[in-house]
């Protein structure tokens, strides 16, 4: 993948092994990655990066996490006027959950388990959202 400027992706996943794996795939694809193990930590990472020369360009967030679900993270982002694309990762395919996430502003989903190719394709699609 050719990029003139490295995009910054904040990844939130409470399963450390999966967090490391996703982070490594993204780094290999040329992205800058910040990691969080909870929704609360994710919000902190995004807010901290906001005042640097490397703000977060995309959030990749597990739906079920300690302290804050993906839905709660979306509401917190809105409260803090953070406008970046969000990809929710989930093993749940319940239409009601997906509808709530879409209503809260999430347009991108990754259904677990996913391949490295699916991850990168979804990230690239979300980064080109405008």
pLDDT at residue 68, as a whole number: 86
For residue 61, give the nearest of 75, 51, 49, 79 by alpha carbon: 75
Cα–Cα distance, 128 to 95 (Å, whole number): 25
Give the up-direction half-sphere exposure of residue 126: CA atoms within 13 A in the CB hemisphere.
27
What's the predicted TM-score (pTM) here? 0.90
Mean pLDDT of all residues in 102-121: 90
Which domains are present in the chain? 8-127 (3.40.50.2300)
Question: How many alpha carbons fall within 13 Å on the CB side of residue 24?
Answer: 6
Q: pLDDT of 24-46, one tens digit each?
A: 999 999 999 999 999 999 999 99
């Amino acid at each position: 993948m050719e990029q003139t400027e490295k995009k910054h992706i904040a990844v939130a996943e409470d399963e450390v092994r999966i967090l490391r794996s996703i982070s490594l795939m993204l780094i290999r694809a040329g992205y800058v990655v910040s990691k969080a193990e909870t929704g609360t930590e994710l919000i902190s990472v995004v807010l901290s990066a906001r005042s640097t020369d490397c703000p977060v360009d995309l959030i990749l967030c597990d739906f079920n996490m300690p302290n804050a679900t993906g839905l709660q993270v979306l509401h917190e982002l809105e409260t803090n006027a953070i406008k970046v694309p969000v990809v929710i990762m989930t093993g749940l395919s319940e239409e009601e959950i997906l509808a709530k996430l879409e209503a809260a502003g999430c347009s991108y989903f990754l259904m677990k388990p996913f391949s490295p190719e699916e991850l990168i394709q979804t990230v690239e699609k979300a980064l080109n959202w405008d």
